[in-house]
Amino acid sequence: MESYYVTTPIYYVNARPHLGHAYSTLVADSLVRMHRLLGEEAFFVTGSDEHGDKIVQAAEKNKLQVKDFVDGISSQFRELWPRLGIDGFRFSRTTDPAHEKIVQEMLQKVYDAGDIYFGEFSGHYCYGCERFYTEKELEDGCCPQHKTRPELISEKNYFFRMSKYLPWLKEYLLEHPDFIRPERYRSEALGMLEAGALEDLCISRPKSRLTWGIDLPFDSNYVCYVWFDALLTYISALGGPAGQDFARYWPGEHLVAKDILKPHAIFWPVMLKSLGLPLYRHLNVHGYWLSKDTKMSKSLGNIVEPQAMMEKYGQDAFRYYLFREMHFGSDANFSEDAMIVRINSDLANDLGNLFSRVLSMTAKYFSSIVPKPASKLEQDKNIVDLCEHAMQNYVQLMHAIRSAEALEALWELIRALNKYVDSEAPWALFKAQETERLATVMYVLLACMRKIAICLWPVMPKASVLMLSQLGQEADEQTAPVANIRNEISCFGGLEAGTKLAEKSNIFPRIQR
């Protein structure tokens, strides 16, 4: 059985989870579900990044011991995900002793290989980013991300010989055009390499300044820099390079937003290279969720609470909107008005209506039993072809993390099915007692609806299960509804005549404003 492994960023626990975190985690969930639908063994790693200055400062602000503070926020993340229908993940914390042990082993390995040295350093330190900036990287003397003036700090520290590997990395990015995708982010990474501002990476913090971190195995006066620690989660969650899961799942896929392109596009591949480990498969970079055209962030007070949205609109509708609205790689605006429009048009009018009409007609004409189809006419064959084509596109696009286009492809079929109901007019066939023809039309509709419900399992697991159960199919939110969706694409049918169906359906009620 093929295996698939994907990761989300390991979120900082200095603030509560918001829509941005939820989105990355939902994408990972949908990918894992998609790969399970393809018959693969798939899971993802998410978790919490708990060391460093930023966290200590947040704990102090909340008047809590650091450990109590990180335990509290970390569980908020862990507990939120299942409420959003997110399943199939391993939750990793950078304060897990097993992770800390692997970080120390990896540090020692890099040190023994001669890629870490001790040196004096003075530089511009941004507390927000928890890193030093070179003169060239600053914008008007300020951190490009936080727009604050970094502090000039001079101290002795350990350095990772990153610069030694940068020419190799540049070659690698040029030779592997889809290593970082979409393309604009590969160009951005190449731009960083070409700008010449990258130097060796300072990977330690003296304990005189910070104790909340992992001890360097070769010098207990220092703790490890948070990024070196956090990035290693991607392999410590597999038990480290010697672990069984590592052999089975590595190399994996990474999912991040563009804010953390640099550590993932530059630091991480170089760390893996120095450790002699295979590089990840792809770095998949998405844009920001904006609120009124500005990035959502706690400091700006424009946060969207995923839990509140889900309670108000339902888990499926909320997930659908996020997957349909954001084109992976670009920014998207979050708007409740736009979400209501989508729910009413795509879910209530198109999909909900199809289920409701077809199930109530089957109840009336065939006592809710799937009829046996007779031979197909041209218009039926067209629908069957469209179904195959839409599913093919959908699977391919979801696989490529292009959910907005994937859903559009599926909705073409849903809209065509509603038109087919209008043009074939089952009520007229019933009236004219054309039972064979009526059976064929109803069968074509029901069989396509089953395929649609299967396709939607990665996007709306709850609704998919509900639709499948209304169609007399066994399904649950944790197990893929079919062994391999590829077998469903080119063979029409899959719904047995004689199956008992639900009498009515109202899966997506309209939202009144």
Q: Which residues bind ligand MSP (CB under 6 A)?
A: 9-12, 20-21, 23-24, 49, 230-231, 233, 256-257, 259-260, 288-289, 295-296
CB of 140 to ligand MSP, least distance (A): 24
**Maximum distance among all Cα pairs of the chain, rounded to whole angstroms:** 91
> Which one is catalytic: 61, 176, 298, 312?
298
- Residue closer to ligand MSP, measured from CB, 230 or 266: 230
Q: How many residues does the chain have?
A: 513
> Which one is catalytic: 35, 51, 129, 224?
129
> Which one is catalytic: 67, 136, 146, 500?
146
Render 31-64 in DSSP notation, one character per residue: HHHHHHHTT-EEEEEEEEE--SHHHHHHHHHTT-
What residue type is assigned to position 177 of the chain?
P
Cβ distance 173 to 246 under 8 Å? no
Confirm whether 109 is a catalytic residue: no
Q: How far apart are CA 117 and CA 160, in angstroms?
A: 7
End-to-end CA distance of the chain: give it in Å, rounded.
48
Confirm whether 327 is a catalytic residue: no
- Residue closer to ligand MSP, measured from CB, 305 or 434: 305
Cross-strand partners of 253: 6, 282
Confirm whether 264 is a catalytic residue: no
Cis peptide bond upstream of 144, omega within 30:
no
Apex 269 CA angle, 264 and 271, nearest 5:
105
Question: Which residue's Cβ has the minimum distance to ligand MSP?
Answer: 20
Look at the block and give the residue holding tokens 């393309």. 183
- Residue closer to ligand MSP, measured from CB, 30 or 440: 30
Residue 404's nearest CA partner among 306, 454, 332 is: 332
CB of 395 to ligand MSP, least distance (A): 25
- Residue closer to ligand MSP, measured from CB, 21 or 35: 21
Residue 12's φ and ψ, nearest 5 degrees, are -65, 145
DSSP state of 476: -
Confirm whether 126 is a catalytic residue: yes
- Residue closer to ligand MSP, measured from CB, 294 or 367: 294
CB of 463 to ligand MSP, least distance (A): 24
Helical ranges in 38-182 per DSSP H: 53-61, 66-83, 97-112, 166-175
CB of 509 to ligand MSP, least distance (A): 29
CB of 2 to ligand MSP, least distance (A): 25
Rg of the chain in Å (alpha carbons): 26
Provide the token pair at 226: 């948070």
Q: How far apart are CA 433 and CA 99, in angstroms?
A: 70
- Residue closer to ligand MSP, measured from CB, 230 or 448: 230
| Strands, sheet with 289-291, edge to edge from the N-terminal-most edge strand | 294-295, 289-291, 332-333
CB of 235 to ligand MSP, least distance (A): 11
Cβ distance 164 to 158 under 8 Å? no
Cβ distance 354 to 421 under 8 Å? yes
CB of 267 to ligand MSP, least distance (A): 10
Cβ distance 244 to 232 under 8 Å? no
> Which one is catalytic: 35, 51, 54, 126?
126
CB of 233 to ligand MSP, least distance (A): 6
- Residue closer to ligand MSP, measured from CB, 148 or 367: 148
- What is the CB neighbour count within 10 angstroms for residue 174? 12
CA 314 to chain centroid, in Å, comes to 19
CB of 254 to ligand MSP, least distance (A): 9
- Residue closer to ligand MSP, measured from CB, 162 or 480: 162
Q: How far apart are CA 221 and CA 205, in angstroms?
A: 9
> Which one is catalytic: 295, 327, 399, 462?
295
CB of 49 to ligand MSP, least distance (A): 3
Confirm whether 381 is a catalytic residue: no
Cβ distance 497 to 371 under 8 Å? yes
- Residue closer to ligand MSP, measured from CB, 66 or 409: 66
Confirm whether 142 is a catalytic residue: no
- What is the CB neighbour count within 10 angstroms for residue 314? 20
Residue 198's nearest CA partner among 206, 208, 210, 189 is: 189
Cβ distance 242 to 219 under 8 Å? no
> Which one is catalytic: 51, 54, 143, 455?
143
Q: How far apart are CA 246 and CA 252, in angstroms?
A: 10
- Residue closer to ligand MSP, measured from CB, 29 or 49: 49
Q: Which residues are part of the catalytic machinery? A: 18, 21, 126, 129, 143, 146, 295, 298
